[in-house]
Structure 1
């Protein structure tokens, strides 16, 4: 009773402390763990009182399985995951949640449910484990004079109290104590003494009770110091962090336009719960500087409004509700500071760590690196107007971000050398010397603003944009842009013309494009010479040409939608889905996603393309551009995912019967084979019976067979006395066991053999066998279920005692 009281008190303290690790976990639910632990302890104690036999042997495993199952059920993981087809999800979820414990913020309140499930499961199962250990049966051993304290008759209370200390201490270290460390130490010491030693004290007051109080007071100080040292007894954060991969995937969004260098090993880096496939954006590359696209260095001033409002149209409140999404993101094998969202990310909630708005509108950053186990929920605005809506839409009539029509272009080397110091001063109306580049501001398509050129470092401007662009290294692209614009009546017509040009027959998707010669820009070389590149080239070229026509545009980087898993109800994003695309500003709708990259992109799920208007013929295109598939899409120009390619890992989006890995994965089959092998081995061990007419004959034959299996066979003619002298030197238990065999071999009613002797004999067999000797001895001499001896049945016989005398 004293031990049960101590278990209940320590368990309740641990459950209430552990409850603080999980946001929203009620005290009542945490105390249910304690009730299950107490029930498990009582059930183990009751199982020990059962009569010897199979029922007693099976009672303890049954109690253990039932108790652990109740702990699992109380954690909220879901019973359907216990079915064979759910083992993959269960193990991957528990593994990911356990690894996340090293990084997530406590108390845990975030979008990914698995860290919460793992926390609740750990708390419940640790308490249940302590309950099982409290009265777990143990065999009494002979006393040793060198050990001053004899072990208890039943249970492992010292191990149980260590487990309870883990439950109590880990939350205190992670979140801080709710009371002073001294009070916590006093409570722990008192309850520990009650749990371990109260049963040994007399019921009447006296020196025993006084000693108990003294031990509690003295124990409070070291326990308080341990609780206040800043590290838990069991550092679950370090343990969880050690389970993660040593080489998480990292991404850099700087565009070099060289060969593809980002990782593409097929690792799952992110999982997104979303009703619609979206482009998962990490960064806006909204500055074009000389030879490529880069990020903004200084934030814009949104006035009294939040920064993300600069990415929204004025009448955003009139936008369809379907354009606003709530997505839940769970980071897997990736480390990144960019908070992945979609379109314009308005807010981040339920984050496992703190985040803040980025420099570019609609993006967010994490002050500390996001890593495996981090999760959050994002509210995003992603406009998806139809082709008809975009046909007459204006762009640039409403100034939201005027610098989205600005590019910085360098002059050709020949132009710089041909301009003497005096001529350069005249151009810039300053004495700054030769000018190597210019910042060009293009007026909007709607005529808002004026064409203007600024010369960096001079404070002077010019208005002859055409003259400056013809002297720049982008002269050919500028001429192409003017030509396409002269053939377009509306902004969307020009957008389509640029798209069709980049999808012409001469353009080809390659992952190792040829490098431009010295003095030539990569995008200029791609647009007008090689026509070979990948997503960075296609997106960068299209955004550049759109700005030259006065259409606000920028490059967005992140990931394509990925593959949808109907079973996980999430989009599985892998490192092969890293991608770049274009965002175009329309006054009425905001930033609309358009992807000019052909379908051969390494982003395996990227199939978005522009579509012609209803009734229009698709433009001529190369075989790999996906124009025929785009032609069938007359509704959404940005995310027109082909149905046959909307796949998870070999799984159709429609929820077909295939699993996420093309069926049950190999290691699940391997686990099943291992379980079957263990069952067969157990059956072979426990059902294997030696030969012999009587129980003693079978026991003696079993010893002989065991010696042979461990490589120590007995020779013909060896007597039991010789075998006793040979093996009895290992321990008195072995000698007594063999003596009982010899004495009972011919006895009418031999006494049962001692179990301790059988275990001691197994230890003797394992000596000298090296690594694995214990398993070999277990195979040679497995445990036996002792059946209770049956009383002999009494039978009545009629005996004819008639004596016949023959004379």
Structure 2
């Protein structure tokens, strides 16, 4: 009889030992970075001094300061692993980043007041202005735009400091990314060398090659391989020094500088033809910034003078003797001022100034006096990034002064009393000056002058215009009254439009009597023609109105919308004074307005210009688009210690936030749990010690899908085969994390929990 063996006893599984937090990983000892720091310092010094030659005078002090600052940053970063406290390490790293940024801006000449939050817009606009000018800048930069100079210097300083940071920042057991740092320093050296060859290019190239090799591999090679590597490096450097001169040609294989500058400026610059056409307006009207002008007071910024009327339109001319004076100079010192002009989105052969230009200085282009108080460049026009100074004379006499000026016009103003006739003889009529009783003389090519000019004029298409001028003159007691009456008549019942209908034979006569529509060219051309017919020297000027005043930077900002044409009438003893007959509805802003209301003989006495100012208005009130430009005072740079300290602390908090993006998670945590813990910390919800996943799930019970995320993490934590959180659950948790974080909550939550999970390696500290 057999017996059944007893069933084997089922053993109970061994109890899992309680999970304990692993001991913190020992802090890695600092890497051997002494050789790397020495190589970086020498290479950065060489590259920064090459970059310093991008401006004139060279910014060698800023270059040396940036390298010393970078070396200090590198040394402190090498010592950072010795700090056992994670919080102190973060404070050290963040403090170095913020301090480096502040010192970089200060080293480059940026005023400290621009670090205040309310000045960040001005700082960004200034750097943007400098960046926009770089494609057209020739080096070394000798221009007057402080933002272009500061941007160039700041670019080199930032490359140095970022390279130092990248080269030595601690990365767990490693130190920095020398390859990235070497690329930044190579860029810092290569850009100025390509622009302007050094005195000993092959010697410097050899030095750069050796220092790059030491920076990349100097502290990584075992001691036994250091000597063979040094020999190999020396052989390669000598071979390169021998071959490089043979490969050096006279012309570049690809002239990238011209290609980049021309392509960028072709898309981002405006050009203007100042000749009058009277057809549909084809000027650029995009609102692009074309000029920045620093001046004591805003006025019309003049680019061209149109002194001749050929019978159909006003034209520029080269027939001028620059030895002939263009204006009288009054003793009023307020009429003289110095302009500093920075060219932005403009390509122009004319120097844009104001009034009568006396001189041009500090220009990167040739300045040629072309008469009529204007200057032109040589074969190379002004373009983005160019800057210059101009001494100008801009008379702004009061109405009483102009009324009492009389009619003693200088002899050189006689040419501004002529007009052409649209006939085959190319006849030119010369009108008598105000107060003269002589006839209108007619001049024809190859024929003696004749006194039948009035008969010829009355037989021409401009007979109505001439009769109107005589009627307005008869109703005026002084030349200034005549100017006011002419201006009022030109504006009366006229409509501003940029697509006018034009009489091809006599556009200005048709504008005055038939269609009464046009833009600034019709208004200014008609007024100047009537003034000449009445004996007042006049001409048309073209350029820009004052624009808008940037109070923070003490500059006038001129845009392509401000392109304009106006009238200059001569006032004895004062010079050329600007008058603007274009209605205020025109796009150009800050148009000049007369100081007194005016009436004309052919309208009721009570009818006046709607946009006239009060009688006796000060000269500054003539510009309707902005205040008179106050001069910058030295007190503008005063700064207390408190606001900059707040800025530094705020920037430090920002850097700490970015750095914390990669720290605070143990290396042995599962990826899903590590991501969850980091997301909670970065959104200000760090779990307390001992918090379980089920408790976290209860915390988010108001958002069911967010709680599902935590449930999926918990399931995967204890059952590795379980499916992890889905995209909808991630989005729900991200929304829940953003709740209560204010305006930037969504961005902060997205940064803490991106749409797609990051691998474990990217989450380790």
Q: TM-score, normalised by structure 2?
A: 0.74
- What displacement does 1:47 show? 1.0
Q: What is the aligned counterpart of 1:289 among 298, 310, 314?
A: 310
- What displacement does 1:288 show? 0.3
Structure 1 partner of 2:412 = 400
Cα distance in structure 2, aligned partners of 1:685 and 1:567: 40
Cα offsets for 1:482-536 (capped at 9, x unmatched): 23334445433432332343344xx3232157524564x1211222334443322
Q: How does 1:197-212 map to 2 (within 5 A)?
A: 197-199=217-219, 200=221, 209-212=230-233
Q: How does 1:115-514 map to 2 (within 5 A)?
A: 115-138=148-171, 153-177=174-198, 179-199=199-219, 200=221, 209-220=230-241, 246-296=267-317, 298-303=318-323, 310-313=325-328, 316=329, 319-358=331-370, 360-365=372-377, 367-393=379-405, 395=407, 397-410=409-422, 435=424, 437-445=426-434, 447=436, 451-456=440-445, 458-504=446-492, 507-512=493-498
Confirm whether residue 24 of structure 1 aligns to residue 57 of structure 2. yes
Cα distance in structure 1, aligned partners of 2:582 and 2:551: 27
- What displacement does 1:66 show? 2.1
Asked if structure 2 preserves the Cα contact closer than 8 Å seen for 1:612 and 1:631, the reply is yes
Cα distance in structure 2, aligned partners of 1:619 and 1:602: 29
Cα distance in structure 1, aligned partners of 2:710 and 2:184: 37
After superposition, the Cα gap between the structure-2 partners of 1:81 and 1:229, relative to the gap in structure 1 and judged at 3 Å, is: farther
Structure 2 partner of 1:768 = none
After superposition, the Cα gap between the structure-2 partners of 1:484 and 1:102, relative to the gap in structure 1 and judged at 3 Å, is: same
- What displacement does 1:593 show? 1.4
After superposition, the Cα gap between the structure-2 partners of 1:501 and 1:462, relative to the gap in structure 1 and judged at 3 Å, is: same
- What displacement does 1:127 show? 0.9
Confirm whether residue 51 of structure 1 aligns to residue 97 of structure 2. no
- What displacement does 1:73 show? 1.9
- What displacement does 1:130 show? 1.8
Q: What 5-or-longer segments of structure 2 have no aligned partner?
A: 1-33, 633-650, 662-677, 697-704, 725-751
After superposition, the Cα gap between the structure-2 partners of 1:392 and 1:213, relative to the gap in structure 1 and judged at 3 Å, is: same
After superposition, the Cα gap between the structure-2 partners of 1:122 and 1:280, relative to the gap in structure 1 and judged at 3 Å, is: same
After superposition, the Cα gap between the structure-2 partners of 1:565 and 1:695, relative to the gap in structure 1 and judged at 3 Å, is: same
Cα distance in structure 2, aligned partners of 1:197 and 1:529: 84
Structure 2 partner of 1:761 = none
Q: What is the aligned counterpart of 1:646 among 626, 629, 634?
A: 626
Asked if structure 2 preserves the Cα contact closer than 8 Å seen for 1:127 and 1:164, the reply is yes
- What displacement does 1:357 show? 3.3
Confirm whether residue 599 of structure 1 aligns to residue 584 of structure 2. yes
Structure 2 partner of 1:552 = 537
Q: CA RMSD in A?
A: 4.5
After superposition, the Cα gap between the structure-2 partners of 1:396 and 1:165, relative to the gap in structure 1 and judged at 3 Å, is: farther
Confirm whether residue 111 of structure 1 aligns to residue 144 of structure 2. yes
Cα distance in structure 2, aligned partners of 1:623 and 1:446: 27
- What displacement does 1:71 show? 1.3
Q: TM-score, normalised by structure 1?
A: 0.71
Asked if structure 1 preserves the Cα contact closer than 8 Å seen for 2:297 and 2:628, the reply is no
Q: How does 1:636-675 map to 2 (within 5 A)?
A: 636=619, 640-641=621-622, 646=626
Cα distance in structure 2, aligned partners of 1:29 and 1:503: 57
After superposition, the Cα gap between the structure-2 partners of 1:601 and 1:518, relative to the gap in structure 1 and judged at 3 Å, is: closer
- What displacement does 1:120 show? 1.2
- What displacement does 1:162 show? 2.0
Asked if structure 1 preserves the Cα contact closer than 8 Å seen for 2:337 and 2:391, the reply is yes
Structure 2 partner of 1:589 = 574
After superposition, the Cα gap between the structure-2 partners of 1:693 and 1:599, relative to the gap in structure 1 and judged at 3 Å, is: closer
Q: What 5-or-longer segments of structure 1 have no aligned partner?
A: 141-152, 304-308, 412-434, 654-671, 700-704, 728-771, 786-807
Q: What is the aligned counterpart of 1:75 among 108, 112, 115?
A: 108
After superposition, the Cα gap between the structure-2 partners of 1:230 and 1:222, relative to the gap in structure 1 and judged at 3 Å, is: farther
Cα distance in structure 2, aligned partners of 1:404 and 1:438: 16
Asked if structure 2 preserves the Cα contact closer than 8 Å seen for 1:356 and 1:364, the reply is yes
- What displacement does 1:48 show? 2.4
After superposition, the Cα gap between the structure-2 partners of 1:62 and 1:531, relative to the gap in structure 1 and judged at 3 Å, is: same
Cα distance in structure 1, aligned partners of 2:118 and 2:353: 32
- State which drifts further: 683-692 or 488-497: 683-692
- SS of equivalent residue, structure 1 residue 190: helix
Structure 2 partner of 1:533 = 518
Structure 1 partner of 2:668 = none
After superposition, the Cα gap between the structure-2 partners of 1:781 and 1:208, relative to the gap in structure 1 and judged at 3 Å, is: closer
Cα distance in structure 2, aligned partners of 1:382 and 1:264: 27
- What displacement does 1:556 show? 0.5
Cα offsets for 1:21-62 (capped at 9, x unmatched): 122344233211110110111111111222263323443333
State the aligned residue count: 656
Cα distance in structure 2, aligned partners of 1:341 and 1:492: 26
After superposition, the Cα gap between the structure-2 partners of 1:707 and 1:60, relative to the gap in structure 1 and judged at 3 Å, is: farther
- What displacement does 1:101 show? 0.9
- SS of equivalent residue, structure 2 residue 349: strand
Confirm whether residue 684 of structure 1 aligns to residue 699 of structure 2. no
